[in-house]
Chains A and B, each alone.
Chain A
Amino acid sequence: DAGITQSPRYKITETGRQVTLMCHQTWSHSYMFWYRQDLGHGLRLIYYSAAADITDKGEVPDGYVVSRSKTENFPLTLESATRSQTSVYFCASSVALDRSDTQYFGPGTRLTVL
């Protein structure tokens, strides 16, 4: 009964390095999301996915790449990390993309880019 997990929970990297944040869910939810949380901004949607091999941009996609080869996994890659990408990243999943659907969030990954 793991639900939705994220790894690593904490990551420190340097400017210019590639970083991949992992997200795994055990519910077979169709939809998965990546958000970043910064003080004063709440949560902002980076990318989302409706199913395996179907992804779309959110509000702040620049500098990020996603893939979804399997329903249960939705990795987020920072191809060349910048200091402005220092943030807490949350993965979420939901059964559908309806106005009343519940999004279930993972515990987050705190990323620091030096």
Chain B
Amino acid sequence: TQLLEQSPQFLSIQEGENLTVYCNSSSVFSSLQWYRQEPGEGPVLLVTVVTGGEVKKLKRLTFQFGDARKDSSLHITAAQPGDTGLYLCAGAGVGSYGKLTFGQGTILTVHP
């Protein structure tokens, strides 16, 4: 069973601060996805990274896939209250195609 350790589990910051969420594993993944989930709703895909070392930017969000494809990070610059939510990383194992293993999630609260 492939495991994804996500940290921190909880993050409470002030508007304007920067933050990084980490997703780590001892296993290699063929791709890594990041989702955002709001209360009472299902997760929504933010980004997919598939190449080791890949960096993708989505406005103030920067996603990185580790060179060895075992880890990933999500960095938010100048966080805003609208960024509040649950962030989930999910990996597709090598050979498991699109079947996803999810991390435990990071609950982010951005205070005005």
Using CB atoms and an 8 Å cutoff, list the residues of chain A in contact with chain B: 31, 35, 40-45, 48, 58-59, 90, 92, 94, 96-103, 105-108
Contact = CB atoms under 8 A, between A and B. Distances in A.
Contacts of A59: 1, 101
Contacts of B9: 40
A101 B98 contact: yes
Interface string B38-72: 00111111001010000000000000000000000
B88 interface: yes
Give the interface residue-count category, chain B.
20 to 34
Interface string B93-107: 000011111111100
Given A99-B50, A99-B92, A105-B44, A43 B99 contact: no
A96 B99 CA distance: 11
Given A42-B105, A99-B30, A108 B50 contact: no
Contact of B99 (A41, A45, A105, A108): A45
20 contacts: A31-B98, A35-B102, A40-B9, A42-B90, A42-B103, A42-B104, A43-B90, A43-B100, A48-B99, A94-B98, A96-B98, A97-B98, A99-B50, A99-B97, A99-B98, A100-B50, A101-B98, A103-B98, A105-B43, A107-B42
